[in-house]
Chain A
């Protein structure tokens, strides 16, 4: 109990990580490329679009030197289509994420251009919730219809969280829950609860293993011999 924070990342930390995402800006002023730790940013020439990290784009936006172009999936029709898919899909079906282009190794979201103007419009990237909230807050005048986007984002979040909670009832035999397709903020929100459920089930199941012969129990118990390794992690 040394750390007052629960395990995992807090929402502000996730939002900070999200600022690494590339977004497309339309500059209003010229700016030469900047040599940053993450590499050289593209030079900005006013009518041409350029991809910048979100934090730099926000900075330029606040100084009125650039406009941010919202990613395609953050438009009302695209969000409405995804919402439709989420609410009709089977509870266990994971929401879709854009795949890495074929041929290269799957790379993690900050380096995947999943939020630029040419991102796919029919899937949500890992940082969709954070990016959407940040853009709506800092650059709502760059949206065509910010209120509709805001409303759809809220609906989508509700539906996806409800789907995640439904997953608890159908825990599979491995005692795990597939979190494929859930965004960073959603994982953070579900972490304490899902971890708590698994831990509780593990305690109930552990009584059986200790009480008697464990050989035939492993199958229907749902908690194979890895339960002890898991225990060590959870106690930390």
Chain B
């Protein structure tokens, strides 16, 4: 993950639900409460970069300021849908950087995931990515597919998958261009 990677920056800007463990004076503006305090046990959606820093404060031998929980995009409902059929889920509507968000959260300490759930999540994510990649390759090589029945699926691709589609499409296009060039010379 590079400092200048725009996808990494956008991933960090996605929001996760956080629960405050302490009352913080003057922080109410995060919750739309301009001059007030942030009450203990209030739930706020914070961007990952902020939530990560706040939850890390337990390193300094104090209680963690916030605890992170799983965003709805990675909730059990989504994962059940992915297990049932990875192709029909609109990942983009859930999170524009779905896989990045998932891996980012798995790297961090999130309260309500234990080890075995984590393994399960990674397994489902890998299976999903593979199954969808096969469809992406078919669509990228099929010109009509992008306009017809494939349009709905392609709209639901997350940013990683879009790059994959673009790569597959561009390489197929360059081979076609080379063949066409030979024909023209004739």
Q: Which residues of A contact B (CB under 8 A)?
A: 6, 10-12, 15, 133-134, 137-138, 161-162, 165-166, 168-169, 171, 185, 188-193, 195-197, 200-201, 203-208, 210-212, 217, 220-222
Q: Which residues of B contact A (CB under 8 A)?
A: 99-100, 102-104, 106-107, 115, 118-119, 122-123, 125-126, 129-131, 133-134, 137-138, 140-141, 160, 163-164, 167-168, 170-172, 174-175, 177-179, 181-183, 185-186
Partner among B99, B107, B130 whose Cβ is within 8 Å of the Cβ of A211: B107
Task: Report, nearest first, the 10 A-B pairs whose CB atoms are least far apart.
Answer: A11-B178, A192-B167, A193-B168, A207-B106, A207-B103, A165-B137, A137-B182, A196-B164, A192-B171, A197-B133
Residues of B within 8 A of A206 (CB): 103
The interface residues of chain A, by DSSP majority, are classed as helix
Complex alpha-carbon distance, A168 and B134, angstroms: 6
Residues of A within 8 A of B100 (CB): 203
Residues of A within 8 A of B133 (CB): 168, 193, 196-197, 200
Residues of B within 8 A of A222 (CB): 126
Complex alpha-carbon distance, A205 and B124, angstroms: 11
Complex alpha-carbon distance, A26 and B167, angstroms: 42
Tell me whether A204 and B182 are in contact (CB under 8 A). Answer: no
Complex alpha-carbon distance, A205 and B130, angstroms: 13
Residues of B within 8 A of A207 (CB): 102-104, 106-107, 122
Task: Please judge, given known A-B contacts A189-B172, A207-B106, whether A165 and B134 are in contact too, CB under 8 Å.
Answer: yes
Tell me whether B134 and A192 are in contact (CB under 8 A). Answer: no
Residues of B within 8 A of A192 (CB): 167-168, 170-171
Tell me whether A204 and B186 are in contact (CB under 8 A). Answer: no
> Which residue from chain B places its CB closest to the CB of A134 in the assembled complex?
B182
Tell me whether A168 and B130 are in contact (CB under 8 A). Answer: yes
Tell me whether A197 and B171 are in contact (CB under 8 A). Answer: no
Tell me whether A196 and B118 are in contact (CB under 8 A). Answer: no
Complex alpha-carbon distance, A166 and B131, angstroms: 10
Tell me whether B118 and A137 are in contact (CB under 8 A). Answer: no
> Which residue from chain B places its CB closest to the CB of A164 in the assembled complex?
B137
